[in-house]
Structure 1
């Protein structure tokens, strides 16, 4: 990026740094409130500057990024990763949420899918007894 243009549109930056496959998906995420820029809900045309904080929400996960570089064109993943830095607190929080989901999944009983008619009748009779 040249010194003359010290900012880039938010939707372009998200697309160029490979957070979204298309600019339309980036635009929908911004309009859907899944992206925050410096603590506010921006419009897709909002300009991103170096040092800005971007929060990307994706389901239960949330990434907090600090902008380190500005690019307008989509580049390889190796180059794109150099344009931002995820905060250590964000990484720790995402790992914690991931562990909680794994523990929740492990605590559920393993089934072969829907219960058969016989199994369903047994479940109903057990529930009636309680």
Structure 2
């Protein structure tokens, strides 16, 4: 019998997602593909499989090297897979592009504070003479 593990469990152990539930939801949403095809969370993953993973804003293309049903430290999780050369190149290019096209309002969260609102009002209203 070959070594197999559920894909959602492996994604969680390899630290692509914080929880197994998030990994399961990502697989169901089609953000994880095995050999270019959508799969179900119960799909078994084996060493040698190539996965395309969309985690956050990053696209990964990895080759499964080992299996683990337990989530360990990040150093151990990194030994479970190897990133393909073309996948690494695409991911670094996308990262560089995101750095160049940074959204100026990306750091703003929620409603403006009182101070922010007053600055906006000063900016909007023309100066009185």
Q: If the length of structure 1 is used for normalisation, what is the TM-score?
A: 0.76
**Structure 2 residue 97 is matched with structure 1 residue 100:** yes
- Three-state SS of the structure 1 residue aligned to 2:38 is coil
Q: CA deviation at 1:21?
A: 1.8
Contact 1:60 / 1:97 at 8 angstroms: preserved in 2? Answer: no
Cα offsets for 1:98-118 (capped at 9, x unmatched): 111211228x6xxxx676234
Cα offsets for 1:14-66 (capped at 9, x unmatched) = 11112122111111111111111111110000000111011111344210000
State the 4+ residue runs in structure 1 displaced beyond 4 angstroms: none
Instruction: Please report how far the alpha carbon of residue 74 of structure 1 lies from its aligned counterpart in structure 2 after TM superposition.
Output: 1.7
Query: Please, which moves more after superposition, 53-62 or 38-47?
Result: 53-62
Question: Normalised by the size of structure 2, how large is the TM-score?
Answer: 0.77
CA RMSD of aligned residues (A): 2.3
Q: Distance in 1 between matches of 2:72 and 2:123?
A: 54
Question: Superposed, which structure 2 residues align to 1:1-130 within 5 Å?
Answer: 4-105=1-102, 116-121=120-125
